[in-house]
Structure 1
């Protein structure tokens, strides 16, 4: 392996695919485990990349993957539970297995992807409590130099936020009912998130730190959806649902295939996904990018 080899868990996902290019340009060799390498053949075009086929992501597999690595980035996360993919398994147990395997293999460095408002005890939702528990586990691991990044909603080419609302707006004629319209977000560009991870990997002063990552402006969900409709050229009447109707929609939608909106999502959205005084990007020397300069380039 290269003198700088990083194992990226979740490297074939939205953030991961953007991160691969950034780290490859910085001289890192990226080791990316995947259950479905045939779906990601295009990644083989990237230099400094090894796609490693795996049947599962557990302690046995991690023990085989990590020897020789100089760092690990854990990007794996889910927004909703589905069968065996529970918050406890993905956000907590996997981190426990990862930190144990990394310690056994002598891997010194870990970057943990967490979330704004993650808190094992006081998190507003099961998602945020599990993210907080995983983050705490990572930072307690002996022998590991850990940095956490805690982004607001992430946008960029291939995202599941603006693209998802654009698709829903295309399919919905005339009136668009919107749950939790006053939920607050500070959307952060995926390129800035990847830059933060890359700088954290190289800077020993970031060890032990937890960085809240936000874009430069705060929006309500209603403002973001209205702006999305404008960018794709669709005139829609947005009907912001009150709290009772929002809960009703969540209870209904979590029974649908794919769970487009759940009660746990509803609970997460009761807390503003904003950074307040702790602007992690600026602390890392990164000037955050605005949605106006990025989103129209891929929605149109």
Structure 2
């Protein structure tokens, strides 16, 4: 049945794996395109998941055949030689939208980012995410976008990155942008919001900001991570000038832990300014204290 088939772009990633479970429980057979299927063989153990090996030139229209739902989770935080914000966030969305329209797919869920804005975004990342949103919502499709703050949960790249840093820290950590603000949102709340929206006509055309129940500074989140790990660490706050310098230096390193564009993104608080989409969708946001200790340990 067409209603039971969904194609998940970016389904092999952190959010994607959680979403696949939710969609499977909702009765969907999920098609997951990937360029390296051998790296994700474990997904074959997921019920109702079908991996498809694809290339750069793969025609998405064929993948979308008989699908009633396409979900776009594709995204990068940093550019590299093989991936740019323009290519991954903008050009890909344009291709997906055209293919979905050609294949007659009626429903598109699109993952964006909190404070994304094509014109006013403080970083190239946020501007590209905003441009992608506008492309998706300008199409003749029933589209809903989700704009989360930093997403946490087992297997995340946020608290787990803090843990890796603290594991090698010699008792002190210089921290750039210590006062940057975030409202961490649990991955299961995010995917629940996505699945809940599929058949709800009131969500069509909406762009939902998704936030956890509390706002933290970056320093406070580092302190929370250290507390859950039972580590004592001296966090050295870097002022704006030194934060910018650190970003410039790291930006030149392969696999940079921080880039100038990350620095620019953190100049904009990643918090919900008005409405929290989770509450609008009837979901009570989950606090980090409920979840983070279960995978970081105490």
TM range (shorter): over 0.9
Could you list the runs of 5+ residues in structure 2 that have no partner in the other structure? none
Secondary structure at 2:3's aligned position in 1?
coil
Q: Which of 68, 73, 76 pairs up with 1:75?
A: 73
Q: 1:76-155 to 2 correspondence within 5 Å?
A: 76-142=74-140, 144-155=141-152
Secondary structure at 2:145's aligned position in 1?
strand
Q: CA deviation at 1:2?
A: 5.4
Matched, 1:268 2:265: yes
Matched, 1:13 2:13: yes
Answer yes or no: is the 8 Å Cα contact 2:163–2:226 preserved in 1. yes
Secondary structure at 1:202's aligned position in 2?
coil
Secondary structure at 1:73's aligned position in 2?
strand
Matched, 1:202 2:199: yes
Q: CA deviation at 1:107?
A: 0.4
Answer yes or no: is the 8 Å Cα contact 1:124–1:268 preserved in 2. yes
What is the match of residue 291 of structure 1?
Answer: 288
Secondary structure at 2:98's aligned position in 1?
helix
Answer yes or no: is the 8 Å Cα contact 2:2–2:68 preserved in 1. no
- Counterpart CA distance in 1 for 2:125 and 2:180 is 17
- Counterpart CA distance in 2 for 1:287 and 1:176 is 34
Matched, 1:182 2:185: no
Q: Which of 237, 241, 245 pairs up with 2:238?
A: 241
User: Could you state the TM-score of these two structures normalised by the residue count of structure 2?
Assistant: 0.98
After TM superposition, what 4+ stretches of structure 1 lie above 4 angstroms from structure 2? none
Per-residue CA deviations over 1:158-198 (Å, capped at 9, x if unaligned) read 00000001100111111100000000000000000000110
What is the match of residue 3 of structure 1?
Answer: 3
Q: Which of 207, 224, 228 pairs up with 1:227?
A: 224
What is the match of residue 282 of structure 1?
Answer: 279
Answer yes or no: is the 8 Å Cα contact 2:213–2:285 preserved in 1. yes
Q: Greater shift after overlay, 44-53 or 206-215?
A: 44-53
Answer yes or no: is the 8 Å Cα contact 2:113–2:148 preserved in 1. yes
Per-residue CA deviations over 1:2-59 (Å, capped at 9, x if unaligned) read 5311100000000000110011001111110111111112211111111111123x5x
Answer yes or no: is the 8 Å Cα contact 1:5–1:28 preserved in 2. yes
- Counterpart CA distance in 2 for 1:14 and 1:84 is 20
Matched, 1:164 2:161: yes
Aligned residues: 297
